[in-house]
Structure 1
Amino acid sequence: MTFRGFDAAKLRRLAKDLDGLGQNSGRLHTQLAAVLTTAQQNLPAGQSASRSPALQDLVGDLVPMPFFGRRSLPGSLGGELGEMQSSMTRRITQLEGLQELARKGYPVSDSLLFLDEAAPDAKKIDDALRRLEGLRGTDFGVNGNRDDLEKIARELDGLTAAEADALIAKASPEDLAFFNQLATCTDDSGWSPFDNNGLPESRLRQTLGGMLAKISPENIGTFQTAFPGIQPTFTNTGAYESGGNNQNGQTNNGIHWAPPSDPLFNNGVSADDVNQRQFGDCWYVASLAGLAQKDPQFIQDGIKQNPNGTVSVRVWDKNGSYQWITMTADLPTDQNGSPISTYGNGETWPAYYEKAFAIAYADDGDGERGYGGIEGDDPKKSAPYLTGQEGQDLRTGGFLGIGEHDDKNLSSLKNAFDAGKVLTVSTPPDESLAKNHPKSWDPSYCTNHAYYVRGFTDDGKIILGNPWGTAGYKPIVVSQEEFNKYFQSPEAFDVP
């Protein structure tokens, strides 16, 4: 039987043929090597048995090496075809499971065909549906509902992509919304101050993020409606309330969510990709730019695009444990299609790092959530979320270590920078400095703002980067005397 145009039986025969070819490749390798070796021995000196460099490598290669494999054709096909056959067999088994699921009337998305996962099990879908339906009217007793919700969360964690997608498609919107209502309410019942209700935010996010990364694009809208907490709000930001960023002068009209047209990466990762726009989170963006400068690969390894278009970013929590936060691909955008959040130069990775942080930082419980919750704070507070390691003030007796050091001493800051640390500094909230600073710094200098250290000049001056980006905001070169007057609060964190 064919399914979406694929015949599983024929594909299994193809996989079997590939496996047979792989098993015979070692014998063919030895036979071909023997022929070429004999030919080479009978040719005059200076002549080759083959004009192909790949075949010439077989001369003298007569001893099979089953434990180490072959580095050249045709012997190398043994491992390659074997791995291909194994992958095909797993995916064909999943396809056959989807066929069975469709026969039973479950919805199956084309995007889920041939995934490298276990075949879907209709019983697991039905069990999860019954558990969700059973939440209504359940008496959770004096201990609260956390145990029951945790059981459901573990069940949802164990679903394959096809199973999770079928569940979201078949579950009633009311059942999904009720599960979300129970899971997000962690207040006590009023009967007992010792009951446990809801799920911890990070635990719920783990389950919802895992499902969001798996389900088909067709069901993402349904999922987002049922679980609105997966999207951080921007209505509590200055950009939304005031129509822009009063520091860099950027304005907007009609902020809404929209998918970007740019890829995650355009040309690798660079600090110059980081352009803070209209949200007031320079303290985080400066740290992100500094980390991108010190270890671009660490940034690149910490973000991935899932097959369904969602994006996952690696974020640590305040306890030092990392998790992958999965989010929808849309970003805050104005009515002209211009990005509102931190963005890159033709790439979107900075925007998703910021969006993930806006989701994760809510765990600090300061009352604000979403993008508004990350506006206006201390750069060292961003370090644990970016790297899992604490940020630190560079003060006397702190990192700078032995002896007495002035925390504004540029030579001491250079030592920290040369030791591999990411350094940030801030400017005082002093409006007189905004009017009374070296004009060569315009328009990069701003009060009540965070900067990251880009490096040092040969004569000991510090080079500071503005997280607004390098387009129109050139780095500031600052002497020791100028640093003492116009900057404060040097902070640092280690790159893992």
Structure 2
Amino acid sequence: MTASSTRLTSTRAALSRDVRDASRWKGSDAERFRSDWDGTHSLLLGKVIEALAEAGRAAARHADEQELASGARDAAGSTSTSAPDARKGAGNISFLGEDHSIPRHPDRGEPNLTPADLDRLGNMVGSAASGGNFLAGNDADVNGLREALTALKPAQLNQLLASLSDDELRNLGSGAAGDGKGWFNYEGTTPFERQQLLDQLLSKASPEQVHRLQDLIPWAQPDGTAMGDAARPGGPDPSTLNRWMQPRFPVIGERPGPDDITQGRYGDCVVLAAAGAMVNADSGWAREHVTDNGNGTVSVLLFDKNGHEQWVTVTSDLPANSNGGQMGAKGGFGGNWPAYLEKALAQVYTEDGNNDGTKEGAPPDEAYPAGNYRAIEGNWGPDAFQYLAGPDVERTRDADVLWGAASGGKPALVTTLGETPNGAPAGYRANHAYFVRGTDERGNIILQNPWGAFEPSMAVSKEDFRRLFSDATVTN
């Protein structure tokens, strides 16, 4: 069983390379099959591979236990030993898998708000929905309401939501979406502050109230259209679709890891390379920073511009491609967490510039604000990395700095040149980002393409880095 798991792993990798070879098969049928392969078939094969591997491990354990028991029986002359339970191990593995998220709100509490409590909170909702605060703007009211909601248990929040009319919630969404500025508030309500308010609403609400909030607050859902990935063969593949689907796989699987990183149709290689770098350096990172709330929402822990960690909560639906499959990052055996990281980041990302690659003959790129997937496409390493790792990140061309980070197990990513240079290794893609998996016995760094673990890894020397790569981003 262990050998079969290994053979099937190699077979899946070879098939993945063939399926993604655009020179072999072109057209809508090819794209539909590639989508099905990434979104369903390859993932199910991964489940079979892991099930076979676990079955092999379980069989080996049982064999060891039997040998130990037999040895003890022979030594003692006893026949009273009990056989291992053959139902344990691989027998409980499910192809779709169970979610292994860490709950944020395990205590739902009781709906015990008094009428006076509801009146007070209702007035705060009305203040946050209004722009009438002449001096400070309604930014202070939005944050005040968010702080009040933080103190509520989920059952109390649902009691409050049930007491509010659709118009009150719709007005709250409109008021919080404004800049919130007054005479003495130059910054106003930032995307992170809006999302902190939405986080308290969505993460605690019942599924019914989640649907209601999603219907009444338009900015609860980002725009899912795409510019596409300029590093792909043929250049970026824009998409004007803004449709959504419910994925089949859990948010957090049994063992999240860097092999879960599989970039989809968005040109956000830097984002997914940063995510791969983080989970490669800390195997528990995904479980601690992404969680399924069990009510149709998912929370992602990101750093804001002040270096503070903040939860960003999004609904569990994900952008759909023309075939109805996931358009963004694909799920792996460790879960769908990279896709939710994309979605949460799209809601708060404010670093976009107008320098992304576009299809020849297409209009030039624009700088998109928070609330757009197109905002997280392209961009520079530190701009995206700081949302995941905090503000202490460094962009460098110093190979010694990069190698020091790699040997110290710190998250790091590298970016390639704008055109493929002579002598580039297999797997090199221009205008692309890779994350560091570690070092080998020769002192090279090992790079992984965020397109997926099926892509060839690259062993890069310091000389190669200086000659073939643009720069690196490391965490300090």
TM-score by length of 1: 0.64
1:357 and 2:358 matched: no
Q: Displacement of 1:209 after TM fit?
A: 0.5
Q: How many Å separate the matches in 2 of 1:134 and 1:476?
A: 56
Q: Cα gap change, 1:183/1:485 in structure 2, threshold over 3 Å: closer, same or farther?
A: same
Q: Cα gap change, 1:335/1:466 in structure 2, threshold over 3 Å: closer, same or farther?
A: same
User: Residue in 1 aligned with 2:394?
Assistant: 392
Q: Cα gap change, 1:269/1:229 in structure 2, threshold over 3 Å: closer, same or farther?
A: same
Contact 2:137/2:180, CA 8 A, preserved across alignment: no
Q: Displacement of 1:457 after TM fit?
A: 2.9
Determine helix, strand or coil for the equivalent of 2:198. Answer: helix
1:397-416 aligned at under 5 Å gives the runs 407-408=398-399, 413-416=402-405
- For structure 1, which runs of at least 5 residues remain unmatched after alignment? 1-50, 52-113, 396-406
- Pairing partner for 2:429 from 446, 459, 462: 446
User: Residue in 1 aligned with 2:376?
Assistant: 374
Q: How many Å separate the matches in 2 of 1:477 and 1:150?
A: 48
User: Residue in 1 aligned with 2:407?
Assistant: 418
The one-character-per-residue Cα deviations of 1:41-72 (angstroms, maximum 9, x if unpaired) are xxxxxxxxxx9xxxxxxxxxxxxxxxxxxxxx
Q: How many Å separate the matches in 2 of 1:137 and 1:456?
A: 56
Q: How many Å separate the matches in 1 of 2:208 and 2:218?
A: 17
Contact 1:183/1:198, CA 8 A, preserved across alignment: no
Q: How many Å separate the matches in 1 of 2:187 and 2:306?
A: 22
User: Residue in 2 aligned with 1:402?
Assistant: none
Structure 1, 212-221 or 254-263: larger mean CA deviation: 254-263
Cα root mean square deviation, aligned: 3.3
Aligned residue identity for 2:382: K
Q: Displacement of 1:461 after TM fit?
A: 3.0
The one-character-per-residue Cα deviations of 1:310-353 (angstroms, maximum 9, x if unpaired) are 11111111211111111111111213232111223242011112
Q: How many Å separate the matches in 1 of 2:468 and 2:128?
A: 59
Contact 2:138/2:180, CA 8 A, preserved across alignment: no
Q: Displacement of 1:223 after TM fit?
A: 0.3
- Pairing partner for 2:223 from 215, 218, 233: 233
Q: How many Å separate the matches in 2 of 1:216 and 1:358?
A: 24
1:180 and 2:173 matched: yes
User: Residue in 1 aligned with 2:201?
Assistant: 211
User: Residue in 1 aligned with 2:286?
Assistant: 299
Aligned residue identity for 1:475: S
1:461 and 2:463 matched: no
1:340 and 2:331 matched: no
Aligned residue identity for 1:420: G
- Pairing partner for 1:121 from 90, 113, 118: 113
The one-character-per-residue Cα deviations of 1:100-128 (angstroms, maximum 9, x if unpaired) are xxxxxxxxxxxxxx954244224123443
Aligned residue identity for 1:202: F
Structure of greater relative contact order (alpha carbons < 8 Å, 6+ residues apart): 2
Q: Displacement of 1:371 after TM fit?
A: 1.4
Q: Displacement of 1:204 after TM fit?
A: 3.0
Q: How many Å separate the matches in 2 of 1:294 and 1:247?
A: 27
User: Residue in 1 aligned with 2:232?
Assistant: 247
Contact 1:276/1:285, CA 8 A, preserved across alignment: yes
Q: How many Å separate the matches in 2 of 1:416 and 1:147?
A: 41
Aligned residue identity for 2:373: Y
The one-character-per-residue Cα deviations of 1:9-32 (angstroms, maximum 9, x if unpaired) are xxxxxxxxxxxxxxxxxxxxxxxx
Q: Displacement of 1:157 after TM fit?
A: 3.5
Q: Cα gap change, 1:131/1:492 in structure 2, threshold over 3 Å: closer, same or farther?
A: closer
Q: How many Å separate the matches in 1 of 2:142 and 2:402?
A: 50
1:493 and 2:475 matched: yes
What is the percentage of aligned positions where both structures have the same residue? 30
Contact 1:380/1:493, CA 8 A, preserved across alignment: no
Q: Displacement of 1:145 after TM fit?
A: 3.5
Q: How many Å separate the matches in 2 of 1:156 and 1:336?
A: 40
Q: How many Å separate the matches in 1 of 2:292 and 2:214?
A: 18
Q: Cα gap change, 1:282/1:134 in structure 2, threshold over 3 Å: closer, same or farther?
A: closer
Q: How many Å separate the matches in 1 of 2:295 and 2:128?
A: 29
Contact 1:257/1:332, CA 8 A, preserved across alignment: yes
Q: Cα gap change, 1:374/1:139 in structure 2, threshold over 3 Å: closer, same or farther?
A: closer
Q: Cα gap change, 1:449/1:429 in structure 2, threshold over 3 Å: closer, same or farther?
A: same
The one-character-per-residue Cα deviations of 1:382-431 (angstroms, maximum 9, x if unpaired) are 33221224211345xxxxxxxxxxx236xx6433311222221111112x
Contact 2:399/2:465, CA 8 A, preserved across alignment: yes
Q: How many Å separate the matches in 1 of 2:439 and 2:449?
A: 15
Aligned residue identity for 2:165: S
Q: Displacement of 1:367 after TM fit?
A: 4.8
Aligned residue identity for 2:413: T
Q: Cα gap change, 1:143/1:253 in structure 2, threshold over 3 Å: closer, same or farther?
A: closer
Q: How many Å separate the matches in 2 of 1:300 and 1:135?
A: 33
Which has the higher Rg, Structure 1 or Structure 2?
Answer: 1
Aligned residue identity for 1:234: G
